[in-house]
């Protein structure tokens, strides 16, 4: 088993606002990589963006704050739900839009 900090968790996040067609998913992937987070991000048909990401809580907070501070992204609401980590996950990916 991998050695993980006690505060290691996974968040399911729904982002609302101007979050599609602004490079959101690729920005999320870049930020996650810089923070050594794993998970995924995808567009939803209703205009929201859905993500699951995992790592230390402090880095997850930093991930969300950095997304909110992007000049080309306007997040009006962000719903975060802690969920069970996925111990097999090794990277952060951009997934296809849910149809």
Distances (CA, A) of 10 to 15, 51, 66, 88: 16, 10, 17, 13
43 carries an active-site annotation: yes
Crossing angle for the helix pair 57-68 and 24-34, nearest 10 degrees?
140
Catalytic residue among 43, 62, 74, 91: 43
**DSSP class per residue in 17-36:** EE-SSSSHHHHHHHHHHHTT
Distances (CA, A) of 64 to 1, 12, 36, 67, 88: 28, 12, 14, 5, 23
Catalytic residue among 3, 4, 7, 25: 25
For the annotated catalytic residues, the residue numbers are 25, 43
């Amino acid at each position: 088993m991998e050695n993980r900090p006690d505060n290691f968790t996974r968040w399911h996040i729904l982002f609302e606002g101007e979050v599609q067609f602004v490079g959101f998913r690729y920005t999320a992937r870049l930020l996650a990589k810089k923070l050594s987070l794993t998970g995924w991000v995808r567009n939803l048909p209703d205009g929201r963006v859905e993500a699951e990401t995992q790592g230390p809580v402090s880095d997850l907070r930093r991930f969300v704050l950095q997304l909110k501070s992007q000049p080309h992204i306007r997040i009006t609401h962000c719903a975060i739900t802690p969920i069970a980590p996925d111990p097999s996950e090794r990277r952060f990916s951009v997934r296809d839009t849910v149809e």
